[in-house]
Amino acid sequence: MQKQTDEIYMKEALKQARKAYALEETPIGCVIVRENRIIARGYNRRNTEKSPLAHAEIAAIKKASKKTGDWRLEDCTLYVTLEPCQMCAGAIVQARIKRVVVGCMNPKAGCAGSVLNLLQMESFNHQAELTTGVLGEECSEMMKQFFKELRQKKALCRQQSREME
């Protein structure tokens, strides 16, 4: 039952990731759920906004806080297609989000267990429940496809510039 619910909301996070993809941004999407309703959505807009803070999770946390009128998101679950970075994991702890559901892991930069697990440090005043690998295949496939296309575009650019010489 929980698994099915998680997959439904991860699909919504994937829809957000597709919006980033359409902007040629690394496809990462996020939704925040409270009482079985999506209260906020977000996707990566780092290049579009020229801001290192424009991550999917930060956008969604901002919207959720605005909507609820409270910086505490204690009864919320955050769904994100890629394991959160240190900034987003920090914001999740700051917002006291109850539970985090991750699509695929990010071995080189993830802070929900890969590089470290900021979400469940005993020494902080808040720990989030954590579920990983929900629709992990779909989430990592979208990332792979994105980087594959990016490499092809770069190769095409190099080829064109050689032809002009």
Show the beta-strand stretches assigned E in 19-165.
Answer: 29-34, 37-43, 76-82, 99-104, 129-131
Q: What are phi and psi of 37, to 5 degrees?
A: -135, 140
Contact 43, 13 (CB under 8 A): no
* Residue with smallest beta-carbon separation from Zn ion: 88
Minimal distance in Å, beta carbon 57 to Zn ion? 6
Q: Confirm whether residue 85 is marked as ligand binding.
A: yes
Among positions 62-91, residues that touch Zn ion (CB under 5 A) are 85, 87-88
Nearer to Zn ion, 10 or 92 (CB): 92
20, 72, 122 from 155: Cα distances, Å: 22, 46, 47
Q: Which residues are catalytic?
A: 57
Q: Does 45 bind Zn ion (CB under 5 A)?
A: no
- Residues paired with 42 in a beta bridge: 30
**Binding residues for Zn ion, how many (CB under 5 A)?**
4
User: Which of 55, 82, 95, 118 touches Zn ion by CB under 5 A?
Assistant: 55
Nearer to Zn ion, 109 or 159 (CB): 109
